[in-house]
Amino acid sequence: MSEHTPDVPVSDLPGPLRLRVAPSPTGDPHVGTAYMSLFNLAFVRQQGGRFLLRIEDTDRARFREDSEQQVFDTLRWLGLTWDEGPDVGGPCAPYRQSERLTSYQPYVERLLAAGHAYHCWCSTERLAAMREEQQRLKQPTGYDRMCLGRTEAERAQLPGFSPTPVVRMLVPDDVELQFDDLIRGRVSAPRPDDQVILKADGFPTYHLAVVVDDHEMGITHVVRGEEWISSTPKHVLLYRWLGLTPPAFAHMPLLRNTNKSKISKRKNPEARLTWFEEEGYLPEALVNFLGLLAYPPAQDAEGNDVELFTFEEFSQRFDWSQVNPVGPIFDLKKLDWLNGVHIRELAPEDFAARILPFLQRAGVLGADPTLGELGRLKEVAALIQTRIAHLTEAAELVAPFYVADDAVEVADDARAQLGENAAQVLDAATAALTEVPDEHEGVLGSEPTWRAEAIETALRTAVVEGLGIKPKLAFGPLRTAVSGRRVSPPLFESMEILGKGATLTRLATLRATL
Whether residue 270 contacts residue 293, with contact meaning beta carbons closer than 8 Å, is answered with: no
| Closest residue by Cα to residue 212 from 130, 117, 108 | 108
Find the angle CA(262)-CA(268)-CA(270) to the nearest 5 degrees.
Answer: 105
What does the alpha-carbon distance between residue 394 and residue 387 come to, in Å, rounded to a whole number? 9
**At residue 191, what are phi and psi to the nearest 5 degrees?**
-70, 130
Active-site residue (options: 199, 265, 470, 472): 265
The answer to whether 265 is annotated as binding is yes
Residues in the chain, total: 514
Q: Which residues contact 424 (CB under 8 A, 6 or more apart)?
A: 467
Q: CB neighbours (10 Å) of residue 149?
A: 10
Active site residue 500: no
DSSP, collapsed to helix, strand or coil, labels residue 248 as strand
Strand-strand pairing, 161-169 and 196-198: antiparallel
What does the alpha-carbon distance between residue 500 and residue 150 come to, in Å, rounded to a whole number? 92
How far is the CA of 322 from the CAs of 124, 188, 260, 512, in angstroms?
Answer: 44, 21, 22, 66
What does the alpha-carbon distance between residue 96 and residue 54 come to, in Å, rounded to a whole number? 6
Q: Give the residue ranges of DSSP H helices in 220-347.
A: 232-241, 273-278, 283-292, 311-316, 332-345
Whether residue 2 contacts residue 237, with contact meaning beta carbons closer than 8 Å, is answered with: no
Q: Which residues contact 248 (CB under 8 A, 6 or more apart)?
A: 180, 182, 220, 221, 222
Q: Give the residue ranges of DSSP H helices in 318-474.
A: 332-345, 348-361, 371-384, 394-398, 412-416, 422-434, 452-459, 466-467, 471-474
What does the alpha-carbon distance between residue 305 and residue 457 come to, in Å, rounded to a whole number? 44
The three state secondary structure string of 133-165 is HHHHCCCCCCCCCCCCCCCHHHHHCCCCEEEEE
| Closest residue by Cα to residue 510 from 473, 483, 470 | 483
Q: Which residues contact 398 (CB under 8 A, 6 or more apart)?
A: 355, 359, 364, 377, 380, 381, 384
Indicate the angle between helix axes 283-292 and 31-47, nearest 10 degrees. Answer: 80
Q: Give the residue ranges of DSSP H helices in 78-205.
A: 101-113, 124-136, 152-156
User: Where are any strands of DSSP class E within 241-308?
Assistant: 248-252, 298-299, 305-306
Q: Binding site for ATP: what residues are annotated?
A: 265
Active site residues: 265
Q: Binding site: what residues are annotated?
A: 265
